[in-house]
Amino acid sequence: MPNPINNHSVVLLDESIRYNAVLQIFNENGQIVLYDKFSSDSYLIGDKIIEKGLYVYIITNGNEIVSKGKFVKE
């Protein structure tokens, strides 16, 4: 079961990659709903995703995938 998020959920990054990292979020249909670059070691994600549902996220640093997974917006 994917992790649930709410309007106050935050993504935390390791300090060594935060300035080059990119966050991509896709909805259940594979459409990109968020593409943003990190400018600090934390990113408030909950208020950026409005619709409830299942999402897939990918965090990249250059050409390297740092993290990927799924979450549910409640």
- The candidate with the shortest Cα–Cα distance to 11, out of 27, 22, 26, is 22
User: For position 28, what pLDDT does the model report?
Assistant: 94
Q: How far apart are CA 21 and CA 13, in angstroms?
A: 9
Element (H, E) at 4: strand 3-5
Rounded percentage of the chain residues whose pLDDT exceeds 70: 95
**May I ask the CATH architecture of the domain 3-73?**
Sandwich (2.60)
Kindly report the pTM of this predicted structure: 0.85
* Residue range 6-18, pLDDT digits in tens: 877 888 877 777 6
The neighbour count for residue 67, using CB atoms within 10 Å, is: 15
Question: What would the pLDDT profile of 1-47 be if each residue is shown by its tens digit?
Answer: 578 888 778 888 777 776 778 999 999 999 999 999 887 777 888 78
Q: Which pLDDT score, from 0 to 100, does residue 35 have?
A: 95
- Per domain, the residue ranges of the chain are 3-73
pLDDT at 70: 93
